[in-house]
Amino acid sequence: MNDEVQENCSCAGTLTTSVADSDGASHFFTVQPNPSTGLFQLNNPMQVPAQIEVRDALGRLVIAGRTANSRVSMDGLNDVATGVYHLIVESEGRRELIKIMVLC
């Protein structure tokens, strides 16, 4: 067992912890409520056109669509099995993955 502690280490590289892109633009999408029984609201505060996909744990497409609205209701998950799904939002060359949970 090594109990040695090193102080004043230098690290190589950069760790980004914000949602801002390198050009300073901040694009983020949120989903509410999460978890849900199948009715989700996608918030698009920048109102940018976005391609939306929901995929199951095996990668199968469940929902697909496009929006530019600030809020989008996604109700196509009412009849899917309980579990974790991946909401993929693509906008202006950026891609976001949001895990959403559907409860019974």
Confidence of residue 27 (pLDDT cuts 50, 70, 90): low
3-state secondary structure the chain: CCCCCCCCCCCCCCCCCCCECCCCCECCCEEECCCECCCEEEECCCCCCEEEEEECCCCCEEEEEEECCCEEEECCCCCCCCEEEEEEEEECCEEEEEEEEECC
Residue extents of the structural domains in the chain: 30-102
pLDDT tens digits, residue range 62-97? 999 998 888 888 888 888 999 999 999 999 899 999
pLDDT tens digits, residue range 46-59? 888 999 999 999 99
Q: Identify the architecture of domain 30-102 in CATH.
A: Sandwich (2.60)
